[in-house]
Chain A
């Protein structure tokens, strides 16, 4: 700690020279965003409805044949879950940017890393997690073979969390742009490709009777890597965006 603040009594001195706690700050943002997500339930339902609708259309559009659907199911579920996540990313920081709370977040005496992590966690809880929980149900509609369900849920659980984290970088980079939606997709899609490949191939392997531990391990590694790096990159991108 540096020098004393002039003209300030002792009790206040102690108060202004102690930094606020990390956990209260993390919890405050987590709680606020969960509350907001709950208040705007309609928006939250968007990606889930999208997921539901597209998967419902597949048997109608391609073929109701069980064998054809079973072959498509792993890839289809994964691609649509990925697009649904992408759909919901644009709003991750946008409303905060527009009402000035993002500015307040940046100048709070808190590491931005954990604040971004809190926001991404809420995004995952309100998009990735419901998508994952709905996936087995939609798997039935696509007559996914029985062996596939466990790995489908596990791979989506790991994968959607990585997608939310990686997506936060793009959302942070484009938050200040008026029409950032398309740019966001262009930035993020290439980064999503590896997650998609290993996610879908995990489910396919299991359905074909091979173990999927390798793919799941790689998805886990993606997640571990993105938990460490993505909030850092997003925090930096937010500073640049707000600076402009």
Chain B
């Protein structure tokens, strides 16, 4: 596609004086599902954190719709949904209260109400149960319910399938396919094989510098 949403130019990342990857060029266009691959410790999460702007330990350029990220940061963040290693769920609150907080901070409801989003991730009937009473997988699902609520175009998902059962994974894959078809993009890491057509794979090992 002519206009990529996100463009990475010569991105390099260093951690504790070890180069994780360097010279990474990547264009993420509308409709892309990109799976970041690499063994543990290869910098997958670091790359995703750079993409979410929470980590600034990198050199190179990131562009959002052709403009440097530092200039259009808020517009970019407005279009970003990130689910990290930590689900970002308050254990003391109920799923509904957790979602209400996210919807207050971000552009809220798109297609579904919060109750419908929880039902979509299989948590109907758990709306008012405190999250500390839910299982790890259910907590993960509360975080994933945000995918149904957001109009954000860019989804960055760090191991979204952790603790999710088979049916849940299938639903999530379908949701990602719909999102990509609707002009969005997904960048994710997972060690699972994705059952999706047109997934682009980027292996970070290919960008590791050989130390001389």
Contact in complex: B86, A99 (CB < 8 Å) = yes
Contact in complex: B104, A16 (CB < 8 Å) = no
Interface string of B40-79 (1 = CB under 8 A from A): 0000000000001111110000001111000010110111
Partner of B30 from the list A7, A20, A39 (CB cut-off 8 Å) is A7
Chain B residues, CB < 8 A from A16: 78-79, 107, 151-153
User: Could you say which interface size class chain B belongs to?
Assistant: 35 or more
User: What is the bound-complex CA distance between A200 and B202, given in angstroms?
Assistant: 63
Contact in complex: A101, B90 (CB < 8 Å) = yes
User: What is the bound-complex CA distance between A198 and B108, given in angstroms?
Assistant: 46
User: What is the bound-complex CA distance between A106 and B49, given in angstroms?
Assistant: 12
Partner of B107 from the list A18, A29, A36, A40 (CB cut-off 8 Å) is A18
Output the nearest chain B residue to A39 by Cβ-Cβ distance. B92
Chain A residues, CB < 8 A from B182: 7-8, 12
User: Could you say which interface size class chain A belongs to?
Assistant: 35 or more
Given the known A-B contacts A5-B183, A103-B54, A106-B54, are A32 and B93 also in contact in the complex, defined by CB atoms under 8 Å?
yes
Output the nearest chain A residue to B74 by Cβ-Cβ distance. A109
Given the known A-B contacts A19-B74, A32-B90, A100-B84, are A108 and B54 also in contact in the complex, defined by CB atoms under 8 Å?
no
The B-contacting residues of A in range 24-77, CB under 8 angstroms, are 24-25, 27-29, 31-32, 35-36, 39-40
Partner of B85 from the list A24, A39, A100 (CB cut-off 8 Å) is A100
Contact in complex: B78, A2 (CB < 8 Å) = no
The B-contacting residues of A in range 92-111, CB under 8 angstroms, are 95, 98-101, 103-110
**Residues of B contacting A: mostly:** loop
User: What is the bound-complex CA distance between A95 and B91, given in angstroms?
Assistant: 10
User: What is the bound-complex CA distance between A2 and B5, given in angstroms?
Assistant: 12
Chain A residues, CB < 8 A from B106: 20, 108-109
Stretch at the interface among B18-26, B95-103, B121-129: B95-103
Given the known A-B contacts A16-B152, A27-B104, are A40 and B183 also in contact in the complex, defined by CB atoms under 8 Å?
no
Contact in complex: B105, A104 (CB < 8 Å) = yes
Q: Which of B1, B52, B91, B105 has the most CB of A within 10 A?
A: B105
Contact in complex: A20, B88 (CB < 8 Å) = no
Q: Count A-B contacts at CB 8 Å.
A: 139
B171 contacts partner chain A, Cβ-Cβ < 8 Å: no
Chain A residues, CB < 8 A from B84: 100, 103
Contact in complex: B102, A104 (CB < 8 Å) = yes
Contact in complex: A15, B1 (CB < 8 Å) = no
Contact in complex: B92, A36 (CB < 8 Å) = yes
Interface string of B20-40 (1 = CB under 8 A from A): 000000000111000000000
User: What is the bound-complex CA distance between A15 and B97, given in angstroms?
Assistant: 23
Contact in complex: B97, A100 (CB < 8 Å) = no
A6 contacts partner chain B, Cβ-Cβ < 8 Å: yes
Contact in complex: B93, A35 (CB < 8 Å) = yes
Given the known A-B contacts A16-B79, A20-B107, A103-B88, are A2 and B72 also in contact in the complex, defined by CB atoms under 8 Å?
yes
Interface string of B146-189 (1 = CB under 8 A from A): 00000111000000000000000000000000000011000000
Chain A residues, CB < 8 A from B133: none
B117 to chain A, nearest CB (A): 16
Chain A residues, CB < 8 A from B78: 16-17, 19-20, 109
A21 to chain B, nearest CB (A): 9
A1 contacts partner chain B, Cβ-Cβ < 8 Å: yes
A109 to chain B, nearest CB (A): 4
Output the nearest chain B residue to A101 by Cβ-Cβ distance. B88
Contact in complex: A7, B31 (CB < 8 Å) = yes
Contact in complex: B88, A104 (CB < 8 Å) = yes
Q: Which of A31, A39, A242 has the most CB of B within 10 A?
A: A39
Query: Given A2-B67, A17-B75, 4 more contacts at CB 8 Å?
Result: A1-B75, A17-B78, A28-B100, A107-B53
The 5 closest A-B pairs by CB, nearest first: A28-B104, A100-B86, A7-B183, A100-B88, A109-B78
Please list 16 pairs of residues, one from A and one from B, whose beta carbons are closer than 8 Å in the complex, sorted by A's number: A2-B67, A6-B3, A8-B30, A8-B182, A19-B78, A19-B107, A25-B105, A28-B103, A29-B101, A35-B92, A99-B86, A103-B86, A103-B88, A104-B105, A106-B54, A109-B78
B residues at A contact (CB < 8 Å):
1-3, 5, 29-31, 52-57, 64-67, 72, 74-75, 77-80, 82, 84-93, 97, 100-108, 110, 130, 151-153, 182-183
